[in-house]
C-alpha cells in the first residue's frame, strides 16, 4: 500500500508542476498535502517539496513565478553520515507576497507578508514583512512601500 501511495503522490507532484490550469494546479498541490490559501497563483514548473509537501504553507494572495523551488528538508549531512537524521523544517509564505522566477526557498524560511523575493534569489533567512530581497544568498535590498511608489498613477 505504501508503494501505491508513493506512486500516487509522485504522479500528483508531476502533474501539479506542469499543468497550465491554475485551479487544477492548486487542487493537485492541496491533494499532496500543501496548504494553499485563496487567490494563489502558481506558475508552471514550480517545485514544491516532493517528500514533505505538508510542511509548506502558502497563504492568500501569493504569486509564485515559474521554476521556483521550495524545500522543507535537508539531507546533505545524512547522505555523508547515515547516523545524522534528515532535517525537516516548514516553509511559510505569508499573504500577498511575490516569489520571482527561479527563486529557491530553503527549509525553515518564513517569507513575511507583502514581501517580494526577486527572481533567482536563494533565500537562506526569513524575509521580513514588506521587504524586497534579492541575490545569492538573498539580502534585503529595499522596501515594498518604496517600490510601489514607482507605480503610482500608472494605468494598466
Any catalytic annotation for residue 78?
Answer: no
3-state class (DSSP) for residue 128: coil
Helices and strands (DSSP H and E) totals, the chain = 4, 16
Residue 14 has pLDDT above 60, yes or no: yes
For the chain, domains (ranges, CATH) are 2-149 (2.160.10.10)
Per-residue pLDDT band at 22 (split at 50, 70, 90): confident
61 vs 147: CA distance, rounded Å: 18
Residue 109 has pLDDT above 90, yes or no: yes
Q: Which long-range contacts (CB under 8 A, 24 or more apart) does 121-128 make?
A: 127/97
- Comparing 9-18, 32-41, 63-72, the range with the smallest average pLDDT is 9-18
Tens-place pLDDT, residues 25-53:
888 888 889 999 999 999 989 999 888 99
Catalytic residue among 37, 43, 63, 73, which? Answer: 73
Give the residue, 81 or 43, on which the prediction is more confident.
43
Helices (H), the chain: 2-18, 22-31, 76-80, 144-149
Share of the chain above pLDDT 90, in %: 61
Residue with cell 534569489: 121
Per-residue pLDDT band at 76 (split at 50, 70, 90): confident
Amino acid at each position: 500500500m505504501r508503494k501505491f501511495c508513493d506512486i500516487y503522490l509522485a504522479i500528483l507532484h508531476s502533474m501539479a508542476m506542469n499543468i497550465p490550469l491554475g485551479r487544477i494546479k492548486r487542487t493537485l498541490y492541496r491533494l499532496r498535502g500543501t496548504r494553499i490559501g485563496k487567490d494563489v497563483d502558481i506558475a508552471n514548473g514550480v517545485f514544491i517539496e516532493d517528500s514533505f509537501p505538508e510542511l509548506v504553507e502558502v497563504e492568500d494572495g501569493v504569486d509564485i513565478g515559474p521554476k521556483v523551488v521550495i524545500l522543507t528538508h535537508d539531507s546533505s549531512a545524512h547522505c555523508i553520515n547515515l547516523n545524522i537524521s534528515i532535517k525537516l523544517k516548514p516553509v511559510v509564505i505569508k499573504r500577498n507576497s511575490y516569489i520571482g522566477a527561479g527563486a529557491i526557498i530553503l527549509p525553515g524560511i518564513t517569507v513575511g507578508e507583502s514581501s517580494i523575493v526577486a527572481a533567482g534569489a536563494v533565500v537562506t533567512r526569513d524575509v521580513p514583512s514588506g521587504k524586497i530581497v534579492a541575490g545569492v544568498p538573498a539580502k534585503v535590498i529595499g522596501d515594498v512601500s518604496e517600490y510601489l511608489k514607482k507605480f503610482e498613477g500608472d494605468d494598466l
